[in-house]
A and B are shown apart, each in its own frame.
Chain A
Amino acid sequence: ILNVEQSPQSLHVQEGDSTNFTCSFPSSNFYALHWYRWETAKSPEALFVMTLNGDEKKKGRISATLNTKEGYSYLYIKGSQPEDSATYLCAFEYGNKLVFGAGTILRVKS
């Protein structure tokens, strides 16, 4: 059974704080690791798809790193803003499907 775990479950930070989340996944049979941002009442939106060990991707104030050998990925948000409030999901690509973690809920207070 494939298991993807995310921590923390939820996070409350002040505007301007930097924060990071962790995603743990199986280190064998790796294809890709996805990160999605899911705002309330909207659809999940892809942030990154990472495939190579040591990969680092950046999109504005958000960045992610990948370690496929030990099975983890970090998502970083620099200088959090209220509009960053959302659920952040990671997903392990397995064949034609994604296996999702339960997500990290981020709330940024202004």
Chain B
Amino acid sequence: DAGVTQSPTHLIKTRGQQVTLRCSPKSGHDTVSWYQQALGQGPQFIFQYYEEEERQRGNFPDRFSGHQFPNYSSELNVNALLLGDSALYLCASSLQGVYSSPLHFGNGTRLTVT
């Protein structure tokens, strides 16, 4: 039973560039959430995708966008990268409508913006 997989593991980009991060959810899950973990902080909610639509969004600018595909996998896109976007990006999967259940996380993508 495959867990949550994320790619790439590490990424180095320059300010102003654009980046795409990918996530495949745990088998049987239909909902993908993205979190950003900056140094010294807990993960912060970016947004959640279900049925190929953004369902909920955290306090992140429009430079952060996403997509969910029919196979439930998801992409996180960040445009016009800033130094402050350097962080670990975590993907988590779950089943829509099932509350109070643990999220299943991937190992994350470490993004460095220089």
Contact = CB atoms under 8 A, between A and B. Distances in A.
A43 interface: yes
Contact of B56 (A93, A95, A101, A103): A95
How many of chain B's residues touch chain A, expressed as a range?
20 to 34
Chain A CB within 10 A, most for which of B4, B99, B106: B99
A98 to B, nearest CB: 7
Interface residues of A, number: 26
A97 B45 contact: yes
A89 to B, nearest CB: 6
Contact of A31 (B3, B33, B45, B99): B99
A100 B43 contact: yes
A31 B102 CA distance: 13
B107 A41 contact: yes
29 contacts: A34-B102, A34-B103, A42-B107, A43-B3, A43-B105, A43-B106, A43-B107, A44-B103, A44-B105, A45-B105, A46-B102, A49-B100, A49-B101, A51-B100, A89-B42, A91-B42, A93-B100, A96-B48, A96-B56, A97-B33, A97-B56, A97-B58, A98-B45, A98-B103, A99-B45, A100-B42, A100-B44, A101-B42, A103-B42
Interface of B: 3-4, 31, 33, 35, 40-45, 48, 55-56, 58, 90, 99-108
Interface of A: 4, 6, 31-32, 34, 36, 41-46, 49, 51, 89, 91, 93, 95-103
